[in-house]
Amino acid sequence: MQERSAFVIAATKSGSGKTLLSLGLLAALVRRGLAVQPFKCGPDFIDPTLHTMVVDRVSHNLDLFMMGEECCRRIFARAAVEADVRLVEGVMGLFDGGEASTAALARVLDLPVLLVVDARSAAESVAAVVKGFEVYDPRIHLCGVVLNQIGSARHVALIRDALAQSCATPLLGAFPREQQFMMPERHLGLHMGEENPLSAGQLDRLAAAVEDHIDIPALLAATVQPLPPPRQVPPPVRPVQPRLRLAVARDAAFCFYYQENLAMLAAAGFDIVPFSPLADAALPPATAAVYIGGGYPELHAAALTANTSLRTALRQWVEDGGPLYCECGGLMYMAEELADTEGRVHPMVGVFPLQMIMRPRFSRLGYRRVRLRRDCLLGRQGDTLYGHEFHYSEPIGEAPALECLYALDDGRQEGYARHNAIGSYVHLHFGRTVGNVDHFFRHALSMQTRREERT
């Protein structure tokens, strides 16, 4: 049986540098001529784009809450055929997140864990931290430790000696304090990969630094995993006929999408056709349904307002009964208006009678279960969908007279409905409910048939 490397890179806590070290490892492995497939644990839209920036491959989210074990295993196994190395970047600290933690994902996928430890303001005490992570869950196998924010050779020596005396996990690297690799951030996190937050020169220097300070051959040797026979990799779902065109908003304002969602929509029968609310005057020809994901409409509010042609086209699409699903940033765009962080008010599409305002801190954050209160384009009454909520905006003023299709597990009513349009703050993932994607397609097909009969 052929063997290739696969591992999780995790940390003791958020802010330890695992994203930067993940990017450095990806870049260094690519420089070695290896085919590297990245993944991201958790509901993160930004880090996967950074992975893609480095390896020029789509990076996939793996989230046990939203996707379930079987979907995570299927996506991970599918990549095994083409990759020499599969690297899963964790989320928060290794054991943070309960059923959706990095540790839980490592157990489900049976992967070893490379532990990143921020060693600032500590020396021998690092060994106590590592020891705790070794024994906290015996089902987790730590294949190595990488120290970050190291100040000197003496600093490394103190920690290395303490680890050797007390811990079974080998020290595989020590990364120095380095400001040249710092990446810009904003309210929702790091900048997207498409914005090239690290220049080509910075990536080259980062890869070289990882080569110098991390024992990559030892890491690869410690993370060898058997490659499953081809019969164990589920075949792709065959597209059905007829095909329908799903117009998906893709530009600097709307860039938050789970790649697996788009793949499942394509497998259900949709041809994914991108359009830009910033630049396009109309929806793509022969559109059957519209999907507007999250992103940064607040950073591009003036330009979105200025594109009156598309705002009119979207409003007319909904009035004519066209299927439309929008989430988070998409909901903000489909509202009446959006007040940015400076208090400037920008008219938006006006499908939902909501006035949105940006807040200095996030308004809501966390996983969500969504139960449908009636049949709609997303499924049948009583269906449970899974997603995640993270936003800084919120509606203000009196609650509008809008039907709410969602009963959320925290007791709120949401999922605003108008005609065949649904808007919500919840980013849904269909990994656990692929049948609902098929329902979306059948609903769009039915609506298109009705429009054709009317004309």
Contacts of 150 (CB under 8 A, 6+ apart): 119, 156, 174, 175, 176, 177
Element containing residue 357 per DSSP (H, E): strand 352-358
**Gap between the Cα atoms of 163 and 117, Å rounded:** 12
The residue whose two tokens read 């079974």 is 168
Q: How many C-beta neighbours within 10 Å does residue 32 have?
A: 14
Which of the residues 71, 326, 328, 376 is marked catalytic?
328
**Rg over CA atoms, the chain:** 23
Hey, is 202 helix, strand or coil? Answer: helix
**Gap between the Cα atoms of 369 and 65, Å rounded:** 9
Pairing mode, strands 324-327 and 287-292: parallel
**Gap between the Cα atoms of 209 and 174, Å rounded:** 10
Two structure tokens written together for 168: 């079974």
328 is catalytic: yes
Region of 17 (left: φ > 0; alpha: ψ -120 to 50; beta: rest) is left
Hey, is 354 helix, strand or coil? Answer: strand
Query: Mind telling me the catalytic residues?
Result: 328
